[in-house]
């Protein structure tokens, strides 16, 4: 303790320095957004009021605010389509009625269409997150600022509702579990319904996709409120898993949102969570939805807590029979509380807890709290688990006793095996996440569960939004390119014979190729040919028609497409009949009303894929 006292000044100076650096970054990002940001703000300038909402919009608003009893700020907004506001991996957000403006640095994009996407970024170069999602048109997400944060909920055709709060509001009673300096205890673990204790012969069921989470609510909670908070909770939890380098087996999926007959029974949230885990209706719903974890939303107020799980000092999670959490909707930033509580069910503890796994503490560093920390440092909880292998601005996010990322890695398989899962189709893309421009790489579709055989559809993009191509097959050969930001995207749609569909994306970093041209794909048995000197696109630059000359290994249909560097498709699958040997394909550019610029001509002939850049310069009128 003497050491800490002597070095109080030094510690305070270091924290103050990091704080000032972060404020400088944030201030630069916020004040300069108009000068260098996107041409359009995400939020439309007009701000609707409650009276202007439709009947459906008012019902949604009332449900989300419990008929006006929500204690935080409410702002009704309308969002522009994501595709309209993204520019150079940046977008701008201005909060109506406030002098808050965020220059958002986009980190990842998963985009199917304007009704289905997930976009993740940070406020400037800080660790504060901006998460924008849409599921079949239902918008959600979160906007984190240094002083204030907002949850995004959907109002249907009327727009979106921002539920705002001060970041420090409720920081002292965010979560009830744990008592800091409690003596470490080691009770006997409870057995599950099959007589198996946590960790005993734990195995992942043969057909699983994610850890299934069921969200339940009593009749005092609106279904629309539960659905919005549930989706946002899953997104924040998964983004934390991804940001922290935790294995994909810890990713969660929405098992369902259902009403329960269970009603509040106590004013102590730890006791409430325990009672919930013993409730017959809650258990029956868990079995019906085959959920590994259950989270209950309620408007009930609790003494010094907005979230809790069955006392972790007693049960030392993960425990199958006690995999239940409670979140009060009276709390600030409900989905962050929800993600925090779900993490407790894996065995993650607060920064000041000393029970359970010796490395299971959250962490407070500089001005930030990792997701499961309880510390009262100013600022938001960031979407990271404590992890000694992660750092920001020279500050490490953990150490040997503060490593919740390791907890998640170590315990995910146990949690995932709590309940057997239905035969849910799962799939992803396997292949390199970086490469050289215009060199060809092979990507593989991985499909599990569902009912084989599977069909595959591949598309590609330089901006993550505008996709082109219609590749099929388990393997896909692609020549990487980019539109100046060094990023390239692949999208894969897998359909199983029983009608299940899953889509996945991969973001690839593209380095400029010092040598140009193509190279053979990574798989030894693929039939993609190396382009020879006989592969020619001319004239180049062009103001009218161009000719692509190349050799085909056998007679086949040739599909030709033309796309801009922004990914926009101008010619989609124009089909020619090819012959074995030399082929000459003519493509008229003048009739496409193209602006001057650089375009990509793609020709597919069986497994052979050729891409060429062409500079188009419209002919000047006499």
- DSSP assignment of 102-156 equals EEEEEEEEEEEETTEEEEEEEETTSS-EEEEEEETTEEEEEEE-SSEEEEEEE-G
CA atoms within 13 A on the CB side of 592: 25
Question: Cβ(250)–Cβ(211) under 8 Å?
Answer: yes
By the 8 A CB rule, do 385 and 343 touch? yes
CA-CA distances (angstroms) from residue 455 to 30, 422, 506? 46, 21, 19
Q: Which token pair is 6?
A: 């002597």
- Nearest residue to 103 via CA among 22, 26, 24, 23: 26
CA distances from 110 to 84, 237, 463 (A): 15, 17, 11
Question: What pLDDT does 422 receive?
Answer: 74
pLDDT of residue 13: 43
- Bridge partners (DSSP) listed for residue 381: 369
Contact 162, 95 (CB under 8 A): yes
Half-sphere exposure of 323 (CA within 13 A, CB side): 29
Chain CA centroid to CA 271, Å? 33
Three-state SS annotation for 493-552? EEEECCCCEEEEEEEEEEECCCCCCCCCCCCCCCCCCCCCCCCEEECCCECCEEEEEEEE
The pLDDT, as a whole number, for residue 39 is 52
**CA-to-CA dists, residue 492 to 51, 109, 457, 462, 570, angstroms:** 43, 14, 6, 15, 21
Count of all residues that appear for the chain in the document: 622
Instruction: Report residue 466 as tokens.
Output: 């505008």
Give the per-residue pLDDT at 531: 44
User: How do residues 108-144 score in pLDDT, each as one tens digit?
Assistant: 999 888 889 999 999 988 889 999 999 989 999 999 9
**b/e burial code for range 260-296 (CB count within 10 A of at least 16 → b):** bebebeeebbbbbbbbbbebeebbebbeebbbbbbbb
Contact between residue 616 and residue 543 where contact means Cβ atoms under 8 Å apart:
yes
Q: What is d(CA 311, CA 337) in angstroms, rounded to the nearest whole number?
A: 16
b/e string for 201-233 if b means 16 or more Cβ within 10 A? ebeeeeebbbbbbbbbbbeebbebbbbbbbbbb
Measured from the Cβ of residue 39, the count of other Cβ atoms closer than 10 Å reads 8
State the Cα–Cα distance between residues 341 and 325, nearest whole angstrom: 6
- Ordered mean pLDDT values, 10 residues apiece, the chain (622 residues): 33 45 44 44 90 93 89 92 89 90 92 90 90 94 90 95 82 61 35 36 48 95 94 97 92 94 93 96 94 96 90 95 96 91 97 93 87 73 94 90 97 92 82 82 87 92 85 87 83 92 86 54 33 70 87 84 73 84 87 81 78 80 52
What CA–CA distance (Å, rounded) separates 117 from 79? 14
pLDDT attached to residue 602: 82
Cβ atoms < 10 Å from Cβ of 348: 31
- Measured distance CA(311)–CA(536) in Å, rounded: 70
Query: Helix or strand or coil: residue 42?
Result: coil
Residue 449 token pair: 């569960």
- The span from the CA of 258 to the CA of 480, in Å, is 45
What is the helix (H) or strand (E) element at residue 563, kind and residue range? Answer: strand 557-564
Are 347 and 318 in contact by the 8 Å Cβ rule? The answer is: yes
In degrees rounded to 5, what are phi and psi of residue 99?
-90, 45
Q: Comparing C-alpha atoms, which of 26, 38, 138, 163 is closest to residue 90?
A: 38
CB 562 within 8 A of CB 570: yes
Sequence-separated (6 or more) residues with CB below 8 Å from residue 207? 421, 422, 423, 424, 426, 448, 449
Q: What is the dihedral of CA 609, 615, 616, 621, to 10 degrees?
A: -160
C-beta atoms surrounding 352 within 10 Å: 16
Q: For position 514, what pLDDT does the model report?
A: 58
Structure tokens of 3? 């050491």
The pLDDT assigned to 216 comes to: 97
CA dist 390 → 127, 370, 399 (Å): 12, 11, 10
Cβ pair 118, 131 in contact under 8 A: yes
- Which residue shows structure tokens 């439709």? 54
């Amino acid at each position: 303790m003497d050491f800490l006292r002597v070095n109080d000044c030094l510690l305070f100076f270091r924290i103050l320095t990091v704080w000032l650096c972060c404020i400088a970054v944030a201030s630069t990002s916020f004040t300069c957004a108009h000068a260098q940001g996107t041409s359009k703000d995400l939020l439309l300038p007009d701000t609707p009021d409650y009276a202007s909402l439709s009947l459906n919009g008012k019902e949604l608003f009332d449900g989300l605010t419990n008929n006006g009893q929500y204690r935080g700020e409410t702002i009704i907004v309308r969002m522009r389509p994501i595709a309209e506001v993204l520019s150079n991996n940046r977008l701008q957000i201005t909060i109506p009625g406030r002098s808050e403006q965020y220059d958002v640095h986009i980190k990842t994009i998963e985009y199917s269409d304007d009704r289905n996407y997930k976009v993740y970024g940070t406020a400037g170069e800080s660790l504060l997150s901006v998460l924008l999602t849409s599921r079949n048109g239902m918008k959600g997400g979160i906007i984190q600022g240094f002083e204030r944060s907002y949850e995004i909920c959907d109002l249907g055709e009327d727009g979106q509702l921002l539920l705002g709060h001060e970041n420090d509001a409720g920081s002292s009673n965010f979560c009830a579990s744990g008592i800091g300096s409690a003596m470490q205890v080691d009770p006997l673990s409870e057995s599950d319904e099959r007589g198996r204790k946590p960790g005993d012969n734990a195995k992942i069921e043969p057909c699983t996709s994610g850890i299934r989470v069921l969200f339940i609510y009593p009749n005092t909670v609106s279904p629309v409120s539960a659905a919005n908070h549930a989706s946002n909770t899953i997104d924040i939890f998964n983004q934390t898993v991804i940001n922290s380098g935790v294995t994909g087996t810890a990713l969660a999926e929405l098992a369902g949102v259902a009403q329960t007959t269970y009603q509040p029974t106590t004013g102590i949230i730890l006791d409430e969570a325990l009672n919930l885990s013993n409730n017959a209706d809650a258990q029956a719903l868990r079995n019906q939805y085959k959920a590994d974890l259950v989270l209950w939303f309620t408007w009930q107020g609790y003494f010094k807590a907005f979230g809790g799980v069955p006392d972790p000092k007693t049960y030392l999670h993960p425990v199958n029979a006690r995999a239940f959490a409670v979140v009060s909707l009276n709390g600030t930033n409900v989905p962050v509380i929800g993600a925090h509580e779900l993490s407790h069910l894996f065995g993650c503890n607060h920064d000041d807890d000393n029970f359970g796994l010796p490395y299971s503490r959250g962490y407070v560093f500089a001005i930030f709290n990792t997701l499961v920390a309880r510390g009262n440092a100013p600022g938001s909880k960031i979407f990271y688990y404590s992890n000694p292998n992660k750092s920001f601005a020279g500050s490490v996010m953990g150490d040997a006793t503060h490593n919740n990322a390791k907890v998640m890695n170590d315990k995910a398989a146990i949690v995932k095996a709590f309940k057997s899962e239905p035969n849910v189709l799962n799939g992803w893309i396997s292949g390199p996440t970086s490469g050289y421009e215009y060199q060809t790489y092979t990507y593989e579709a991985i499909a599990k569960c569902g009912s084989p055989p599977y069909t595959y559809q591949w598309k590609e993009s330089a901006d993550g939004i505008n996709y082109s191509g219609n590749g099929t097959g388990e393997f896909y050969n692609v020549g990487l390119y980019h539109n100046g930001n060094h990023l390239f995207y692949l999208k894969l749609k897998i359909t199983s014979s029983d009608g299940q569909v899953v889509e996945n994306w991969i973001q690839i970093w593209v380095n400029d190729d010092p040598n140009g041209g193509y190279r053979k794909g990574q798989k030894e048995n693929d039939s993609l040919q190396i382009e020879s000197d006989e592969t020619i696109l001319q004239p180049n630059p062009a103001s009218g028609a161009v000719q692509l000359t190349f050799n085909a290994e056998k007679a086949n249909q040739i599909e030709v497409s033309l796309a801009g560097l922004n990914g926009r498709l101008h010619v989609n699958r124009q089909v020619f009949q090819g012959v074995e040997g030399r082929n000459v394909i003519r493509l008229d550019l003048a009739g496409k009303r193209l602006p001057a610029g650089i375009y990509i001509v793609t020709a597919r002939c069986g497994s052979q894929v050729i891409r060429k850049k062409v500079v188009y310069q419209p002919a000047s009128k006499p």
